[in-house]
Chain A
């Protein structure tokens, strides 16, 4: 999936996270800011990277500001931001790349 513009998904409300995806020339950069980074930082990075892998996002700068989101929310926000940044339209592959 090619990232062609900057896009944001999610909010800074409790139990949510805000994901920003920007186009990048080469490689994937992911950074995380979280109040629970000591307890869940690794897990959040893992979930985000798996999600980006499934979406085949190869070149992008991704930043996540987490407010205690569950894994399902992290996935949903990363996917939404990526879809927006790639200007994806039409049917979504539920159960395929989205799972």
Chain B
């Protein structure tokens, strides 16, 4: 299975309550990379059924203009998630986010249900991707095996609220309590060659704190962040937009290596300094990100 969307750009993944028509009707005007249509925590227990009908028709009828449509289903400890999967797959979602993932088996259980739904609703098997949210100490510790659990899995995400409760701590805003989880998860994700996403920042009045946190997770290597409000989008995109000097350097690296390789030369130099072939993939990623951010108009 080779789903071309597996490695798409996901700097901002915005949660939206499926139960709120005013929220789900046109979030694309704020240009997030993905939206996460939530059937889980945002939806009151007695509105779970209503949220599914809204979700199904929204997926069917609203043109989200290329924004990835992820559906967060209810947890595997509920009797809701199987119908959530059927609804999301039937509606035509791009991906499913599994909450409270603790083991590789959790992912495989959902994967099986997705495949079943794909057959039931005549979608190509493998067309729906998965992301797994790690929300507990056990989940975080099992990150590596979770990352390796499924070909459909495009990434893992830290869910800080539940995780901090499981750790018996409160969220400080400094990020110190998430250091271990973040580091562990990004390493596991990279080892499995999938993406890694950071938790939400809930204090909308503290945009400075938000910016600092995004800078931190960006430099740690995270591919993006879960967000709760469109106001957060420009901040994340700004930080994830490659800087001019990085783009110029990446361009030089690619051109140098392409050119020298063509001539059979194995030693590469940029701006007088020796560089390694290992720079090549990183440079390619920088250019791709620059293109996606609309700041690159070169010919690479």
Chains A and B come from one and the same complex: yes
Binding site for B on A (CB under 8 A): 9-10, 13-16, 69-73, 75-77, 79-80, 83-84, 91-92, 94-95, 98-99
Q: B140 within 8 Å of A by Cβ?
A: no
- Closest A residue by C-beta to B49: A80
Pairwise interchain contact A13-B20, C-beta atoms closer than 8 A: yes
B109-161 CB contacts (< 8 Å) to partner A = 121
A80 to B90, CA, bound (A): 17
B32-76 CB contacts (< 8 Å) to partner A = 49-50, 52-54, 56-58, 60-62
Pairwise interchain contact A16-B21, C-beta atoms closer than 8 A: yes
Which 3 pairs of residues, A with B, have the shortest CB-CB distance? A94-B90, A72-B57, A76-B53
- The 8 Å CB contact of A95, one of B54, B83, B90, is B90
B63-102 CB contacts (< 8 Å) to partner A = 83, 86-87, 90-91
A72 to B57, CA, bound (A): 5
B2-27 CB contacts (< 8 Å) to partner A = 20-22, 25
Residues of B within 8 A of A14 (CB): 22
- The 8 Å CB contact of A83, one of B49, B57, B91, B121, is B49
Residues of A within 8 A of B21 (CB): 13, 15-16, 69-70, 73
**Apart from A72-B54, A91-B83, 18 more pairs, CB < 8 Å:** A9-B50, A13-B22, A16-B20, A16-B21, A71-B61, A72-B60, A72-B62, A75-B53, A76-B53, A76-B57, A77-B50, A84-B49, A91-B86, A92-B87, A94-B86, A94-B90, A94-B121, A99-B60
The contact sample of 27 A-B pairs, CB cut-off 8 A, is: A9-B50, A10-B50, A13-B22, A14-B22, A15-B25, A16-B22, A70-B21, A70-B61, A72-B57, A72-B62, A73-B54, A75-B57, A76-B50, A76-B53, A76-B57, A76-B58, A77-B50, A79-B53, A80-B50, A91-B86, A92-B52, A92-B83, A92-B86, A92-B87, A94-B86, A95-B121, A98-B56
Binding site for A on B (CB under 8 A): 20-22, 25, 49-50, 52-54, 56-58, 60-62, 83, 86-87, 90-91, 121
Residues of A within 8 A of B54 (CB): 72-73, 76
* Number of inter-chain CB pairs below 8 Å: 62
Residues of A within 8 A of B62 (CB): 70, 72
A84 to B53, CA, bound (A): 12
